[in-house]
Amino acid sequence: MIRHQYYCRYLLTLVLCLVGLNFWGLPSQATSKNFSTQPQLPKNQLIPGASYYNLKVIPGSEQSLTLSITNPSDQTKTVKVTPVNATTADSGTIAYVPSNRQDESAETTFTKMTSVAVTVQLAPRQQKTVTLKTKIPANGFQGEIRGGLFVADLTPSQSNQQSNSTQFHLNNRFAEVTPVILRCNIDQKLRTNLKLAQVTVNPQPTVPTLTAKLRNLTPAAFGQLKIQAKVAEKATGKIVATQTTDQLAMAPNSWFNHPITLGKQTLAAGHYILKLDLTSGKRDWHFEAPFQLSKQQVKQHNISLKKATPARPWGRWLLISGTTVSLLIGAYWLGRRQAHS
């Protein structure tokens, strides 16, 4: 009987191992229910094996951009492939999302050169390829053209399909983007031209902040940008607020609104100057611009400071306890000294 049980256990273990081996031999199942994209890189790709297009293109030619889209889920999906321009988000990052942001300095853009959006329906576990065509201008272009193939899932989310609720609702939408970088001349280095376009006091509902609109007039992206901002009183030159932000990047021919807070000092209404020092690699820039704070704006700022000052009773208790302990130690030491003498 014991021997029989032993054989049964042995058999069960072996069966499990063999079943495991069989699955091991098969390709792994995608754990995601979302779609995925993969670029089919052409021969003129400059970085082999990258998951985005980085291409040397010939003036006057037509460049095919082919993307494989896979639906690993068990439901039909509709996705839309849209060409988008690279822009700079206000966070100082290069964004490849549909946007109306354009800078007039751009000679041409990726969306102007590329065929229109395509909508594709994917059956469960189906893969399809989509090709968009980019027409390179006959005279080529300076620097780089940067954009992306933005693939958005148009299938309504499940909770949205079923919901009749009257509550406030945020529908999640999912998108994957494959960046596209095009260059006619890969050795061309263009001197970066940055400008401070304007400084505005942001009409926040609660706390006023500044925004500095910075423009990159060069058809080349750049990174490792550090911005040191100082707010000074115009009359006295006294610095009332400072802020440092680093690891920023900008898309070619783009702009962004860099947010600057007004610091932690109480302010008076009047004239101020924003001073900006920017660095990236060996380059540096200095910009200054005046701005004015109204009575209402400084009132909002000063009220926010009072709210932000945390009540820290533990700090006071810590100070009292520390002083008491020090006094006790001192008294003990004095007492011992007197006793010895």
Partner 1 sequence: MTKSQQLSGLLSFLLLIGTPLTTLAADTSDKPIDPQKSTTGFEIIGSNLQFSSFSDFKFESDKAENIINHEVTLHSIDKEHTLAIQDYRGTHEGWTLSATMSNVTEKDSGRTIKQPTLTLNPTLSTADSQKLAPNKNIRLTPTTTQPVLNVAENSGEGNTQLSFTNTTITIPKQYDISAGTYTADLKWTLAPITKVDTAQ
Question: Which 145-174 residues touch partner 1, going by CB under 8 A?
Answer: 148, 150, 152-153, 157-160, 163, 165-174
From the list 45, 50, 228, 299, which residue makes contact with partner 1 (rule: CB under 8 A)? 50
The strands making up 209-216's β-sheet, listed across from edge to edge, are: 194-202, 209-216, 254-260
Secondary structure element (H or E) that encloses residue 45, with its range: none
From the list 70, 82, 254, 297, which residue makes contact with partner 1 (rule: CB under 8 A)? 70
At residue 295, the 3 state secondary structure works out as: helix
**By CB under 8 A, what part of segment 8-37 binds partner 1?**
11, 14-15, 17-19, 21-22, 24-26, 30-37
**Size of interface with partner 1, in residues (CB under 8 A):** 81
Residue 313 touching partner 1 (CB under 8 A): no
**Segment contacting partner 1 (CB under 8 A): 59-67, 102-110, 220-228, 301-309?**
220-228
Residues 85, 46 contacting (CB under 8 angstroms): no
Instruction: State how far the Cα of 134 lies from the Cα of 62, in Å rounded to an integer.
Output: 6
Residue 220 touching partner 1 (CB under 8 A): yes
Residue 57 touching partner 1 (CB under 8 A): no
Cα-based distances in Å from 64 to 57, 82, 135, 195, 207: 11, 14, 9, 35, 49
Residues 6+ apart with CB under 8 A from 167: none
Residue 245 touching partner 1 (CB under 8 A): no
Q: C-beta of 303: minimal distance to partner 1 in Å?
A: 13
Residues 136, 59 contacting (CB under 8 angstroms): yes
Residue 280 touching partner 1 (CB under 8 A): yes
**Segment contacting partner 1 (CB under 8 A): 42-50, 116-124, 286-294, 305-313?**
42-50
Nearer to partner 1 by Cβ, of 86 and 272: the residue is 86
Nearer to partner 1 by Cβ, of 272 and 301: the residue is 301
Secondary structure element (H or E) that encloses residue 140, with its range: none
- By C-alpha distance, which of 258, 193, 264 is closest to 227? 258
Nearer to partner 1 by Cβ, of 66 and 233: the residue is 66
First-to-last C-alpha distance (Å) of the chain = 91
- By C-alpha distance, which of 189, 268, 206 is closest to 234? 268
Nearer to partner 1 by Cβ, of 42 and 156: the residue is 156
**By CB under 8 A, what part of segment 91-150 binds partner 1?**
91, 93-97, 99, 148, 150
Q: C-beta of 184: minimal distance to partner 1 in Å?
A: 17
Nearer to partner 1 by Cβ, of 53 and 272: the residue is 53
Instruction: State how far the Cα of 172 lies from the Cα of 169, in Å rounded to an integer.
Output: 10
